[in-house]
Amino acid sequence: MPTPPTAGSAPRAPRPSRRSVLAAMAAAVPAAGLPVLSGRASAASAAGALPGGGDLGPNVLVFDPATPNIQGTLDEIFKRQESAQFGEGRFALLFKPGTYRGLNAQIGFYTSIAGLGLSPGDTTFHGDVTVDAGWFNGNATQNFWRSAENLTLHPVNGTNRWAVAQAAPFRRMHIKGGLNLAPDGYGWASGGYIADSRIDGSVAPYSQQQWYTRDSSVGGWNNAVWNMVFSGVEGAPAQSFPDPPYTTLDTTPVSREKPFLYLDGADYKVFLPEKRTNARGTTWGSGTPRGESLPLGQFYVAKPGVDAATLNAALAQGLNLLLTPGIYHLDGPVEVRRPNTVVLGLGYPTLVPANGATAMKVADVDGVRLAGFLIDAGPVNSATLLEVGPEGASADHAANPTTVQDVFIRIGGAGPGKATTSMVINSNHTLIDHTWVWRADHGDGVGWEMNRADYGVRVNGDDVLATGLFVEHFNRYDVEWRGERGRTVFFQNEKAYDAPNQAAIQNGDIKGYAAYKIADGVTAHEGWGLGSYCYYNVDPTIRQDHGFQAPAKPGVKLHHLLVVSLGGKGQYEHVINSIGAPTSGTSTVPSTVVSYP
């Protein structure tokens, strides 16, 4: 029981013919019988009625090398979470600094595993952290909502397997060996995201349709299917899009790594990495990472059952928020108004707004950090689910931007949900670093009007940068960019599968809404490695004019675009505007444009 806290060669897989669209699997088994653990807080409470620090709750499990039967506990949690795609179980598995031997931590839905050191080398596994797809007959395209962070691994057979799809970040990891991104048997896979990591051996994506790797180091990269994007990655393959489809940027324009919980002696703290410009390689490879630490006493440690008023009272007192694993039903928005506020989730805490509320609103202030949580739309339509900055926000945040990292949004799937626009970015200079904004195509409460969600991400602010933008299945525009000088490094999209007919998606005289639309008035925008796929399985005769729409202006530049018809279910006429060859037939071969204009 945990104690309270004081590659080898393999054949290249064939290209997948389409992404799976099967229904969700069984819900989670209730978590009864797992050990209840408390977190040790730093000593002082913040001034005011609500204390800082405190208990980390029953679903944060903390291990040290002397903990008995670690493998048994890991196996029990995996058993509960392996196929619980839309279940309510949520877990964070935290490992104190030290060396652990003989472990295979299999990671299921809504499960995060992380080391509690300041650097990955502080917590070492002679073993594996594994994601496979046995629960789904070897198909990894639904291995969502799980994460690994801040560990060093010595894989047992020399290669660690991390066969994931969207919303499954791999951060601050050091693999002393290779990394295999495909499931056993090389079945379909649709991921994924790596940041601030070092893989000493080669990364083998095999069947992965797309992947984004940022500010890392790799010993090699073996192959690609449709869209592999690298920025600031030492050892990345050379630029070669479209054959093979590698998009390689030497550096990342701006980055700031995700905050993380760690132990300083017996005290929990949250480390806030500093902002980097033109970044390359990891933040921790040259010693202690640069940034600042906050004691846990400066956080309100929230648990499921707390209401929005209490969270807002904690924020008004000057506390940050640490959201522990579970489901949070909110009768109003969480209001983040103070500069430099941190809202950090552990183990996929999930915010569900009631009565059409917005789940979270951020003021137009410097340096807010949102990280590591999921927002689930409620059954009453919300105008928005996440707002960064109010409408008309105009302040300059270049020196200290707001970051949105591993923040995921879901409309439907776990039950009925509706939202007009899921994520709205109004504040200038915001960094969106890895998000999956998803109108569900399977699960409960799914249908063209049942989980209606017209717009995925709308960017009104200027100088916004997105690194790792996954947005799928919206009824109209998936991404609508209105701000100036926006930049996107890697975009993955699927248009809504369930459009009933051509008329349902007609956009004036345009057939279909673009996956990524840059507003007509924008004069400067740039993007790299952008892909849109269609799979109109309800009406395969649907035609989509293009995946991308952009004004013809000298400052609007897009690099390495592709559209794909999955198995011939619907077709694109062009890639961007009226440029690019149509998709055709059932061969699932991308149509590409290397540069626009």
Residues forming the active site: 494
User: CA-to-CA distance for 495 and 533, rounded, in angstroms?
Assistant: 6
Q: Is residue 72 classed as helix, strand or coil in its secondary structure?
A: helix
Beta-carbon contacts of 277 under 8 Å, excluding residues fewer than 6 positions away, are: 253, 254
Q: Is residue 309 classed as helix, strand or coil in its secondary structure?
A: helix
Phi, psi of 524 (to 5 degrees): -145, 130
Amino acid identity, position 517 = K
Beta-carbon contacts of 392 under 8 Å, excluding residues fewer than 6 positions away, are: 426
User: CA-to-CA distance for 455 and 189, rounded, in angstroms?
Assistant: 26
Closest CA to 521 of 553, 547, 548, 545: 553
* H or E element that contains 76: helix 70-81
Residue 591 backbone zone (phi > 0: left; psi -120 to 50: alpha; other: beta): beta
* H or E element that contains 386: strand 382-388
Q: Is the CB of residue 441 less than 8 Å from the CB of residue 21?
A: yes
Beta-carbon contacts of 580 under 8 Å, excluding residues fewer than 6 positions away, are: 546, 561, 563, 574, 591, 592, 593
Residue pointed to by tokens 């997948």: 16
Q: SS3 sequence, 348-377? A: CCEEEECCCCCCEEECCCCCCEEEEEEEEC
Q: Rounded to an integer, what is the distance from CA 49 to the centroid of its chain?
A: 34
Helices (H) and strands (E) in the chain, counts: 2, 47
Q: Rounded to an integer, what is the distance from CA 228 to the centroid of its chain?
A: 16
User: CA-to-CA distance for 180 and 204, rounded, in angstroms?
Assistant: 5
Encode 231-246: b = buried (16+ Cβ within 10 Å), e = exposed. bbbbbbbeeebbeebb
Where does residue 444 rank: exposed (0-12), middle (13-18), buried (19+ CB within 10 A)? middle
